[in-house]
A and B are shown apart, each in its own frame.
Chain A
Amino acid sequence: MGFFDKLFKKEDKKEKKAAEKEAAAAAPVAASADETIGLPAADLGELLPGAPPGGKFKLAIYWAAACGGCDVSLLDTNERVLTIGDMADIVMWPIAADGKEKDIEAMEDGAILVSIISGAVRNSENEHMVKLLRQKSKVVVCYGTCACFGGSPALANLVPGEGKEILEYVYQKTPTTANFQADYHADAPVVPQTSFQAPEGELTLPVFYDTVKTLDQVIDVDYYVPGCPPLQESISYLLKAVVDFAYNGVPLPPKGTEIGVTTKTMCEECPRKKENLRIEHIYEPHEIDVKPDVCLMDQGILCLGPATVGGCGARCTKVGQPCRGCYGPTSDVQEHGASVFTAIASMFPIREDDGIIGEDEIVKIMSEVKDPLGYFYAFTLGKSLIKKAVVEGGQ
């Protein structure tokens, strides 16, 4: 059955929904047969359809402070990506098309149906563009971990001295630049300026901010698709929601919905067997022979799986790396790192009947975790209440 048959048989909708529910319920079993546990991809049919009945809608895809991996994840939809152009006019997509700021500015408010924005807000240009897109868009999707939680770049929020210190280090203290400054500008180092008068005219650069912000700290957003980058299964649910809305009038999900995640933790998708052993030592993956089938936490490897929402298909734990939590916390948790900490604390042998070790021993074990903030908040520091570094011991 082709995509159109599925979409335009409205009378079948109830049946379809029931069938979907069944499929979803059956999925883990069916999936485990071909070794993919976790979120099954949404059924989009063979390809995305041609133009919607009401004509093409406007779509914007934008990156703020991002690495481009989110855009590559959209390109990794392979042949599907080629048909997005049939469904929508891409009014902006810097990695793939060239709509520009002034084209967006000229539009009526709300003219864009969906803006998919990746990346955190790191500088004045990011802020300006996301505010503009918010104004012109009916729906804003907060796409990828940086936009949702700050991502790796939000680790910069741990730097004491903030923007000034970061720029100083990057342009004056790294050894390659230090040599340059010493060799040529020993008296007054040359650094990037937000406004510079070149002989031919003025050149400007955006203002670098002190703090990395998540998208929803700067603009109102409608949906979240976490992941670094979101995996194809997650993307399929976003595409399905948009396609169902545009072609079939199916209402969009409630505002604030996290799309492409499960209702459980990453552990539920992980094929490793959990025996809930107690941690007595903490190891890194290179320090031990990691057993292929056993829970990494049971082997003493700190894994953020118990506090991280499912949806990724446990790609990292399958190859022997612990989860770093790129999909973010489960729905009711804001402090991802604190949530991990609680999960780990519960694994220490401190029950009365354990009687193995005392508090000193726990401190000793936990002190094996170097840089706990950086580890437990590897991806979610932008969302954390820990906005400024706690300067301790010199970092």
Chain B
Amino acid sequence: MAGPIIWDDKQKVTGNKVTVDPITRLEGHGKIEIFLDDKGDVANAYWQVPEVRGFERFCIGRKVTELNQITARLCGVCPGAHHLASTKAIDGCYNTKPTETAFLLRDTFYNAHFVHSHIAHFYALAAPDFVCGPAAPAAERNVLGVVARVGLELGSAVLKTRAEAQKVQAIIGGKPTHPVMGVPGGVTTAITKEQQKEIIGYAENMVEFAKTSYQVFNDVVLANKEYMDIVLNPDLYYNETYHMGLVNDKGQFEIHDGKVRVVNPKGDEHDLYDTFDYLDHIGEAVEPWSYEKFPYLRKPGYKGLVPGENSGMYRASPLSRLNVAKEMPTPLAQEKFLEYKGILKDVGVTGPCQHTLVTHWARIIELLCCAEKCLKDAECPDLTNSDIKQKDIQAGGRGVGCVEAPRGTLTHDYTCDENGIVTACNLVVGTTNNNGPICMDVAKVAKALIHNYEVSPGLLNMVEMAFRAYDPCNSCATHSLPGQMPLTAVIRNSDGSVYDTVTRN
């Protein structure tokens, strides 16, 4: 196995604006604008999201029970998260909760969803940066490049396990992309013993595969000193922010149903609140240069895109969830969680981990935990029970549905009248939580790496790695395929005309 390629030759550019505009998707599209000063250093960098579709407004007037299908279309990459958060909000609008069996089926579904999403992210998106190296030729920096280095066997296991996680979602939800099972107080359909057996088989494979994935991460990243120096460099992928995530009543990691816990940059508990009360705790700022909002903690408040304890910037990501959880609820994940905390402590991380790239490591521990939970749920004899929905429920009122989406805390908030017609709708979406911190990380890395007009394709990729760690919907499944993946930076004169371009081939 050839070693990863971490650094490449820089190229001198002229002009004062570098546009990185191959960035793809969060409700569509994204771009990074890097402004250079007179010395050719980075004056500032902006992560922009140029699309909005207005779901919050056009959901008004719809039947509330349709919203878990409509809002699933917010994102085809994590429709399972939207479907579940929405279904929980609908439960609230009907003043009900799912039956025990329905909860179990939703939970099985959702853990499988996490497994599928985290596999896609780690192998298709993150692994190329580490296994092949940030400066490896773009044509190699994809899942095929990863497979070429780690072996075809693992490559087919990736495809197989992801496909099986999709199948679990299809068995319970009808379709993996845009599932349909959620109804107020339950799910539409019970599953058979045969289907349960099938799910157990898939879940057993998931656990094995997750164990392998942890080993892969260990061998490729943790064992590589050069990477760990980058990962732990406080001048690069590092910002001091608050962290948010759901926890269960024992304070353990939770994705489906719990309270929101927030820790401050020192690691102290800043907040622990019921998801219904989220408006008292978070707000969403608007900046004139992006269609994506910037959530913040109302205490200490919005101070702009700056780090620190006095700024309301918080993150909600795998890194955050492992920062707020006291432990993991499953044995194998707990073992790795302790190992993770131990290693971080050895390198001086005592409070919450603020090293953005550690998010990848946290994601692998979550993968293991969700695979274990999926198996535990699937083996439960009650899974095939017939009490799949509540009876005699009535629409009218407000419901707040909150889950951990793979990319962060996701909140759906609806109000409907007694006819079930929606009168108000608010959505605080997983990736959106991290919008401010992503901007901050992108700007910080750009400032640290680009000096004296010198830019290289590898450096630009390292700027991209700042946002990729968050797996914003912009990037999930991104960069996963064969074919060319050039990145072009457009260098503009101050009047906006194109002066030069740097292309990563």
Residues in chain A within 8 A of chain B (CB atoms): 63, 65-73, 75-76, 78-79, 81-82, 84-86, 89-91, 93-103, 119, 122-123, 125, 151-153, 155-156, 158-159, 165-167, 169-171, 174-177, 179-181, 183-184, 189-193, 196, 198-203, 205-206, 208, 228-229, 231, 284-286, 290, 292, 315-316, 318-321, 324, 326, 370-371, 374-375, 378, 395
Contacts and interface: CB of A to CB of B under 8 A. Distances in A.
B181 interface: yes
A210 to B, nearest CB: 11
B458 interface: no
Nearest to B77: A68
B488 A102 contact: yes
A286 B389 contact: yes
Given A123-B51, A169-B57, A316-B175, A70 B76 contact: yes
Given A82-B481, A98-B485, A170-B52, A72 B177 contact: yes
B114 interface: no
Interface string B415-450: 000011100111110000000000000000000000
Contacts of A199: 44
A337 to B, nearest CB: 14
Interface residues of B, number: 111
Contacts of B76: 66-73, 229
B199 interface: no
Interface of B: 16-17, 21-22, 24-25, 27-29, 33, 35, 43-44, 46, 48, 50-63, 65-66, 69-70, 73-77, 79, 120, 138, 143-144, 156, 159, 162-163, 166, 170, 172-178, 180-181, 183-186, 188-189, 279, 282-291, 293, 295-296, 298, 301-302, 389-390, 393, 413, 419-421, 424-428, 473, 476-488, 490, 494, 496, 501
A228 B470 CA distance: 27
Contacts of A320: 181, 188-189
Contacts of A179: 279, 283, 298
A25 B79 CA distance: 36
Contact of A97 (B58, B156, B476, B485): B485
A229 B295 contact: no
Ranked nearest first, the 3 interchain pairs of A and B with the lowest CB-CB distance are A69-B76, A85-B482, A320-B188
A174 B423 CA distance: 12
B251 to A, nearest CB: 26
Contact of B21 (A63, A100, A184): A100
A226 B164 CA distance: 25
Contacts of A286: 65, 183-186, 188, 389-390, 393
B483 A89 contact: yes
Nearest to A369: B63
Given A100-B22, A155-B70, A192-B286, A205 B477 contact: no
Nearest to B422: A371
Pick from A102, A205, A395 the residue with the most CB of B within 10 Å: A205
Contacts, number: 308
B46 A198 contact: yes
B478 A96 contact: yes
Nearest to A75: B477
Contact of B286 (A82, A85, A180, A395): A180
Contacts of A231: 175
A95 B25 contact: yes
Contact of A95 (B58, B181, B477): B477
Contacts of B62: 155, 371, 374
Contacts of A208: 52
B57 A98 contact: no
18 contacts: A67-B74, A69-B73, A94-B25, A95-B24, A98-B138, A100-B22, A122-B53, A155-B70, A159-B54, A166-B57, A169-B60, A174-B425, A175-B279, A180-B285, A196-B288, A199-B44, A326-B178, A371-B61
Given A69-B177, A84-B481, A96-B478, A190 B288 contact: yes
Contacts of B282: 176
Nearest to A157: B58
Contact of B75 (A68, A78, A119, A155): A68
A177 B293 contact: yes
A370 B419 contact: yes
Contacts of A176: 279, 282-284, 293, 295, 426, 428
A102 B486 CA distance: 12
A167 B54 CA distance: 7
Contact of B166 (A66, A76, A326): A76
B194 to A, nearest CB: 11
B74 to A, nearest CB: 6
